[in-house]
Structure 1
Amino acid sequence: MGNDKYQVLKDYFGYTAFREGQETLIDGILSGRDALGIMPTGAGKSLCFQVPALLMDGVTLIISPLISLMKDQVNALNQSGIPAAFLNSSLTAAQYRSALEYAKSGRYRIIYVAPERLMTESFLDLTHHVRISMVGVDEAHCISQWGQDFRPSYLKIRTFIDQLEERPVISAFTATATDAVKDDIVKILELENPVMVTTGFDRKNLYFEVQKPRDKFTSVLTYLEEHPDTSGIVYCLTRKNVEEVCEKLCDAGYKATRYHAGLSDEERKRNQDDFLYDNKSIMVATNAFGMGIDKSNVSFVIHYNMPKNIESYYQEAGRAGRDGEPADCILLYSGQDVVTNQFLIEHSSDNEELDDELSEQVREKDRQRLRAMTFYCSTNECLREYILRYFGERSANFCGNCSNCNQNFEDVDITVDTQKILSCVKRMGERYGVKMIVDTLRGSKNERLLSLGLDHLSTYGIMKETKEQRLREIIQFLLLHDYLRSSDSEYPVLCLGSNARKALFDAEKIQMKLPKEEAPKPKKAAASQLPPENKVLFDRLKKLRASIAFRQSVPAYIVFTDATLREMAAVVPQTEEELMDISGIGQRKLEKYGDTFLSAIREFLQDEEN
């Protein structure tokens, strides 16, 4: 296999230099030390155990929970001339027996195995026939109850290692780990004096944005129109969302495919290949897609729904820009996403082998992570800094490459607003959720509020001039900074937090970043208000749009919406600059349709003159 790490790197993997952190971990492992590598998606974790595996005597076992990852990595290794195999539930009984026999005969240097297989009689028998030089634990965060994907089967790893005749080197790798998870990995795996590398979580080429659109699908279409000829992933929370979004994208003329656990293995494989080989440019998927997928030219990841924790979000978003080129990570947020995630947490059956007490502990940690994810979607601070701080990393509070840093914000004194909100929560007995607090402060006349007598409180209506959206933003800020806290229940209620006293009694000045409120734009002309001659133009433009849509086999609204055509008919633009001022016309549509529609308008004006 070669006796030099650089020779192995070049001969088998085709690289001439190691990336940050790789060489430190490889050197540690080759010197006989345990290792822990925390490296973000795309940083090259696999090489850290694959290169040493080819330079050590004996067999390296890689424990992984992901069948698709095992298959892909084993296929890639075999293609590179490295004998490797996997042992998991996707093999038939006959295939599994054959793989074990080949392993006993010394055919493989690297064997991937699911954690559930470790303590089976047949696998333990294998360990008596081969020398195991290293046990590598991939997705090592799964061993910790603090991890976002705790798997009790990972707790068997240490038991397995203890019964081996000779202790191997133990290495562990993960893309996302907080300090608590990192400590758990070291403790539970009993790593001895491990070489530890955290390469840093920051991916400077990734742009982060949170949108709160009224119509999520329109936002996706707008993005795709503005970024033609790009490849990306649209993540959805449920299979139903995947089906709907994929179908609508295909109807709109985009090359999209889908991936979720409800499809057959054959279709998942076919759709995954279509995406990987650029037959389809857009993959619409649940979080079942992506682990171990090394597609370098993914230029965007759009989350159609908010994931349930920062760890999952950053791992999924990190599948963009693996080639180092600029890439976009956009999250489309709505309050319903929180409700859906809360339901999934309360009714999860991922770990049926847990007892009731442990299940509740896991759920409680999932609720905490969901709150952190919700705060991410609500903060007006730098999004990159929020993520890095979550993982225990310090960073500047202005990155210049996220939607919050690029928006027009101002520092607003919210001291008085804070006191009003906290007083309202207190006077309402700390028994109500955000919606009821907001309605009371804004003086709502809703039936339930009146029946509870909340309209008699001194805080009723004291913020009626404040828009609901801004009031909710301030409440989220107060939750994030512990002036308020939310109860851990299926129907959360607001309570005073540990910093409430400072705001209410210590005259603490409180400031937050808020987007500058823009002056209301003049109303556009509606179709019913169009003069007769402009109605004629509107009808002409509709016919032109219909002919273009027919030629392109797309719905008419994909070319331009009725609202855009109405404004066009009302304004009668005659230059590209004037056309660009019309709502719904961006640079791409200007380039694609501008000349055609301007010609039609000029023809109309000539006809009017004649």
Structure 2
Amino acid sequence: MPDTALDLLHRIFGHTAFRGEQAHIVDHVAQGGDALVLMPTGGGKSICYQIPALLRDGVAIVVSPLIALMQDQVEALRQVGVRAAYLNSTLDAETAAMIERQLLQGELDLLYVAPERLLTGRFLSLLDRAQLGLFAIDEAHCVSQWGHDFRPEYRQLTVLHERWPDVPRIALTATADAPTRREIVERLALEDAKQFVSSFDRPNIRYTVVPKDGGGTRQLLDFLARHPGQSGIVYAFSRKRVESVAEQLCKAGMKALAYHAGMDASIRAANQRRFLQEDGIVMVATIAFGMGIDKPDVRFVAHVDLPKSVEGYYQETGRAGRDGGASEAWLSYGLGDVVSLRQMVEQGEAGEERKRLELRKLDALLGYCESTDCRRQALLRWFGEERAGGCGNCDNCLSPPESWDGTEASRKALSAIYRTGQRFGVGHLVDVLRGVRTDKVAQFRHDVLSVFGVGKDLDDRQWRSVFRQLMAGGFVDVDVEHFGALRLTEAARPLLRGETTVRFRTEPKAAVRSRRDRRTSEAEAFDLDPASLARFQALREWRAQTAREQNVPAYVIFHDATLRAIAEGDPADLDELARIPGIGSSKLDRYGEAVLQQLFDAA
């Protein structure tokens, strides 16, 4: 009897049931149908083409945009006994020729290639001579010219349908709002494909947004103290900021590495490899460290600067908790972030239509940050998905923010902008409102204005919050010609005239925490009892050593979720170990005895 999809899922991947839409997608593609799959990061997209690849005759050609991503996915498949390979520029001529022979002789189940290689005449001719089972186009949002991951070669992938019309295609992405979805369908000629749109909700991620206090480093350190021994990513806006934050984390005793496009390529690659192979590494990076980060046990993603858009934020935070375990997305931002991003957009070389789109996206993200509503509802709404009720797992749900009547303060702030000529930034405006006689105030004689000192009832942090929320509400804009000066928009007129009112979220007081409260224990961080934690740590040390010996990412040996289940279940023999989710027959044969020995030694 031939294997069924469920047989393969259990025997190879160690799971007893499909999740969500996986079973329907697998059945549709295995029977020869085209599909567009939108599924959040961690939702199990790979299974949607890997199982059909094993069910269908012929090889599955997987189009993947990043070398590191395809290498890790191939190694993970080889670990579970699947005949997988990749062709990319890292291979020598002899190895590439061997893989091409395996392709032609039907000895591969899946072959991963970059779009640039696939589109060469030589490779297309090679595929003409092979038996093809299906085409999988991963990271399909790369087809969109409006996205930051745009790859022009993706737009030429219609050649697959034109040249092999009877070979099914499955396009997959985790990040696609409605316009991007339409563009994928149009550019890849998937008009007749069945669309499978899963919920974009990631219920295991807790979302928190905090106003930046100073540079935000102390806030970041306090946040990271809740995640001892855990892996995570810290995103920063610039290369200089990345290096500064990484240095400060190292001084605080953390295993922190830097990653940005300006680094030497070999150092960058070594840092990425360490992050994938070792446990407890904090990677501080620009968005250059992005697509292709397949590590499932990232427990947190922190942003120390404001991202560029809701899509970017969602995609970056989605790298946390791919294994379904509890994870955190933490963002600190300030008005300076907004000013810097607006300047970057408006002074860029993009066309006016693109600039307007990017500014709208930035405004939407600022509105998300200042919102008093459920964070998850706001994120899902951006992707066209409505959620009834709060999520109970974001800062606004867990600690509903208070609000206050900001009408009078807003009128004072708007008047200060107007009476100083709409040529100054927030710092100077706050000094004027609070009656601080700085050299700059004296130079421009702003101490004689009627607004000088009218805002002594609010402190510096509160005034900055007022200006931030005025910008979020569309009452204030940034004049990039005057180095980030604030200027009034048309929406400010009725507010200045007293024809409308506004309410603002109350600025939270700066947290004062004792040294004793500041750090979480590893047992608390991993939510394990002491005995289970000891077994878990022993298993992670064994996994790290095994990964180093094989020069593979640690998670291709076993996911953290699997090690956790082993540590909690404490199986006594191979039969009990085989019942742990995530342990297929190949891994049981390969690692079973070693795992049991670790449990025995940790007892």
TM-score, scaled relative to structure 1:
0.73
Aligned-residue offset at 1:43: 0.8
Q: Structure 1 pair 262/143, CA: closer, same or farther in 2 (3 Å)?
A: same
Paired position in structure 2 for 1:301: 301
1:146 and 1:180 in contact (8 A); partners too: no
Aligned runs of 1:79-478 on 2, under 5 Å? 79-158=79-158, 160-161=159-160, 163-211=162-210, 212-214=212-214, 216-261=216-261, 271-272=271-272, 274-289=274-289, 291-334=291-334, 337-338=337-338, 362=354, 365-395=357-387, 398-407=390-399, 409-422=401-414, 434=426, 438=430, 441-442=433-434, 445=437, 462-478=454-470
Q: Structure 1 pair 480/214, CA: closer, same or farther in 2 (3 Å)?
A: closer
Q: Structure 1 pair 30/412, CA: closer, same or farther in 2 (3 Å)?
A: same
Aligned-residue offset at 1:71: 0.4
Structure 2 distance, partners of 1:509, 1:246, is 43
1:442 and 1:461 in contact (8 A); partners too: yes
Deviations 1:378-411 (CA, angstroms, capped at 9, x unpaired): 4454433332233233235743322344446323
Paired position in structure 2 for 1:26: 26
Structure 1 distance, partners of 2:520, 2:9, is 47
Paired position in structure 1 for 2:590: none
1:260 and 1:285 in contact (8 A); partners too: yes
2:423 and 2:486 in contact (8 A); partners too: yes
Structure 1 distance, partners of 2:213, 2:395, is 14
1:68 and 1:291 in contact (8 A); partners too: no
Q: Structure 1 pair 504/395, CA: closer, same or farther in 2 (3 Å)?
A: farther
Aligned-residue offset at 1:24: 2.6
Name the amino acid aligned to 2:395: S
Structure 1 distance, partners of 2:236, 2:458, is 33
Q: Structure 1 pair 37/582, CA: closer, same or farther in 2 (3 Å)?
A: closer
Q: Structure 1 pair 302/56, CA: closer, same or farther in 2 (3 Å)?
A: same
Q: Structure 1 pair 100/196, CA: closer, same or farther in 2 (3 Å)?
A: same
Structure 2 distance, partners of 1:85, 1:505, is 68
Aligned-residue offset at 1:144: 1.1
SS for the counterpart of 2:180 is helix
Tell me if 1:57 matches 2:57. Answer: yes
Structure 2 distance, partners of 1:45, 1:345, is 33
1:35 and 1:196 in contact (8 A); partners too: yes
Which moved further from structure 2: 454-463 or 75-84?
Answer: 454-463
2:231 and 2:281 in contact (8 A); partners too: yes
The unaligned stretches of length 5 or more in structure 2 are 523-603
Deviations 1:57-97 (CA, angstroms, capped at 9, x unpaired): 33322222111110011111222222222223333344434
User: Aligned residue pairs: how many?
Assistant: 522
Aligned-residue offset at 1:19: 1.0
Structure 1 distance, partners of 2:414, 2:476, is 8
Name the amino acid aligned to 1:90: T
RMSD between aligned alpha carbons? 3.9
Structure 2 distance, partners of 1:490, 1:131, is 62
Q: Structure 1 pair 153/371, CA: closer, same or farther in 2 (3 Å)?
A: farther
Aligned-residue offset at 1:192: 2.7
- Greater relative contact order (Cα 8 A, min sep 6): structure 1 or 2? 2
Tell me if 1:586 matches 2:543. Answer: no
1:38 and 1:176 in contact (8 A); partners too: yes
Structure 1 distance, partners of 2:424, 2:322, is 45
Deviations 1:525-554 (CA, angstroms, capped at 9, x unpaired): xxxxxxxxxxxxxxxxxxxxxxxxxxxxxx
1:207 and 1:401 in contact (8 A); partners too: yes
Q: Structure 1 pair 240/323, CA: closer, same or farther in 2 (3 Å)?
A: same
Paired position in structure 2 for 1:569: none
TM-score, scaled relative to structure 2:
0.74
Structure 2 distance, partners of 1:509, 1:94, is 72
Name the amino acid aligned to 1:191: L
Paired position in structure 1 for 2:569: none
Paired position in structure 1 for 2:587: none
1:381 and 1:513 in contact (8 A); partners too: no
SS for the counterpart of 1:147 is coil
Paired position in structure 2 for 1:540: none
State the identity as a percent: 40
Q: Structure 1 pair 428/179, CA: closer, same or farther in 2 (3 Å)?
A: farther
Structure 2 distance, partners of 1:194, 1:6, is 24
1:34 and 1:192 in contact (8 A); partners too: no
Deviations 1:118-155 (CA, angstroms, capped at 9, x unpaired): 32121121232124443222111111123232222222
SS for the counterpart of 2:506 is strand
Q: Structure 1 pair 475/385, CA: closer, same or farther in 2 (3 Å)?
A: farther
Deviations 1:195-232 (CA, angstroms, capped at 9, x unpaired): 22222222222222233233544334333444434343
Structure 2 distance, partners of 1:259, 1:198, is 33
Deviations 1:398-443 (CA, angstroms, capped at 9, x unpaired): 4332234444632322233344445555666766655565555555
Paired position in structure 1 for 2:499: 507
Deviations 1:467-516 (CA, angstroms, capped at 9, x unpaired): 34333323333333334444687955555556445545683332232246
SS for the counterpart of 1:150 is coil
2:258 and 2:283 in contact (8 A); partners too: yes
The unaligned stretches of length 5 or more in structure 1 are 349-355, 522-580, 592-610
Aligned-residue offset at 1:587: 6.7
Structure 2 distance, partners of 1:448, 1:249, is 36
SS for the counterpart of 2:209 is strand
SS for the counterpart of 1:135 is strand
1:440 and 1:459 in contact (8 A); partners too: yes
